[in-house]
Amino acid sequence: MAEYLSTLLTPNLPLWQLLTAALIIFAAAILRGFSGFGFSALTVTSLALFMPPKLVVPIIFLLEIVASIHLLPGVLKQIDRRLLSQLSIGMMLFTPLGVWLLAHLPASQTRLVICLLVLAIALLLLLGIKQRTANPRLPLITGCVSGAVNGAAAIGGLPVVLMMLYSGLSAVATRATLVAYFIITDLYAMVWIGHQDLLSDEVVQLSVLAIIPMTLGISLGSWLFKRSSQGNFRSLALILLLSVSSIGLLRSLSEILA
């Protein structure tokens, strides 16, 4: 047992990568605890700069499950259950396609797709568009898009956030519904991740090590949510997502064109 734990806590990565990853996860977890979204997008785009997406994405799924379970008790009463069910149906239909793309696309192309999606959605979120007329099919369509990009890049929350802000859903309901939605999406995605043989020992090792900085960050973010200006923090978070995704996009293009 002791030998197993020693192996589990000693991943085959340079120390600088481990420390950088821990710092990124801590910062992204503050954002997650505050707004209910952004953890996956920030960690995937940042970690993918020096780690392969096939390693990063399964780690993020595991961490998101832990993060959502940590936040769920405090948001149960604010969840929009009808919206949650509509999103979940679309997500379940298209997640297998996304996981298949993750397993078969080259790392540079996967990174390019991730950065383009994050960049586009962050720009739309920053613009703060609003829905003028209700569209009853929008949640199901959003769930389908979310499932595909979640399976491929672990960023399925961003299309849902975009839809919720577009529909004018309150900040409290958005945060609560996202927390519940992430539990469903990431548990479901992990089934398909295992089916594609992407759940390696190294994924488990890094996920275990990342739980501490993530938990500390979420706790700090939740504390800030109760005491800070949400609008200012969200704008800062979106600018951060734009910056990181732009850097990742430039790197991906340079790799593909080289």
**Tens of pLDDT along 102-155?**
888 887 788 788 888 878 877 877 776 665 556 778 889 999 999 998 888 888
pLDDT band at 65 (very low <50, low <70, confident <90, very high): confident
Is the pLDDT reported for residue 9 higher than 60?
A: no
Mean pLDDT value across the chain:
81
Residue of 148 and 237 predicted with greater confidence: 148
Give the per-residue pLDDT at 36. Answer: 67
What global pTM score does this model have? 0.76
- The tally of CA atoms less than 13 A away on the side-chain side of residue 32 is 33
- Whether residue 86 is predicted with pLDDT greater than 80 in this model: the reply is yes
Confidence bin at 89 (pLDDT 50/70/90): very high
Task: Write down the pLDDT at residue 205.
Answer: 87
pLDDT band at 93 (very low <50, low <70, confident <90, very high): very high
Model pLDDT for residues 169-187, shown as the tens digit of each residue: 777 788 788 888 988 998 9
| pLDDT (mean) for 227-233 | 61
Tell me the per-residue pLDDT of 188-220, one tens digit each, with 9 for 90 and over.
998 898 888 888 888 888 898 899 999 999 889
Percent residues over pLDDT 90 in the chain: 18
